[in-house]
Amino acid sequence: MADEITLEVARYRPELESEPVMQSYQVPLREHWAVLDGLSYIKDHLDGTLSFRWSCRMGVCGSCGMTVNGEPQLSCATFLTDYAPGPVRVEPLRNFPVIRDLVIDIDDFMTKLPKVKPWLVREVHSPVEEGEYLQTPEELDEYKQFSMCINCMLCYSACPVYSLEPEFIGPAAIALAQRYNLDSRDEGAEERREILSSPEGIWACTFVGECSAACPKGVDPAGAIQRYKLTAATQSIKDLLMPRSRR
Partner 1 sequence: MSTYQRPLALFWWLERRSYLLFVLRELSCVFVAWFVVYLLLLVNAISDGATSYEDFLDWSGQWWVVAINVIAMLFILLHAITWFGLAPRAMVIRLRGRRLPPTQVVAAHYLAWLVLSAIVAWLVLR
Residues that bind partner 1 (CB under 8 A): 12, 14, 18-20, 70, 94, 97-99, 105, 138, 160, 163-164, 206-210, 213, 220, 222-223, 226-227, 229-230
Nearer to partner 1 by C-beta: 3 or 138? 138
Nearer to partner 1 by C-beta: 121 or 213? 213
Neighbours of 126 (CB within 10 A): 10
Nearer to partner 1 by C-beta: 139 or 187? 139
Nearer to partner 1 by C-beta: 37 or 101? 101
Minimum distance from residue 74 beta carbon to partner 1 (Å): 19
Strand-pairing partners, residue 90, are 9, 68
Minimum distance from residue 97 beta carbon to partner 1 (Å): 4
Closest CA to 83 of 8, 17, 152: 8
Minimum distance from residue 99 beta carbon to partner 1 (Å): 6
Minimum distance from residue 56 beta carbon to partner 1 (Å): 26
Minimum distance from residue 22 beta carbon to partner 1 (Å): 13
Closest CA to 176 of 137, 147, 133, 210: 147
Nearer to partner 1 by C-beta: 18 or 111? 18
Closest CA to 191 of 120, 239, 125: 120
Phi and psi (nearest 5°) for 102? -105, 10
Q: Which residues of 32-71 are buried (b: 16+ CB within 10 A; e: fewer)?
A: ebbbbbbbbbbeeeeeeebebbbeebeeebbbbbbbbbee
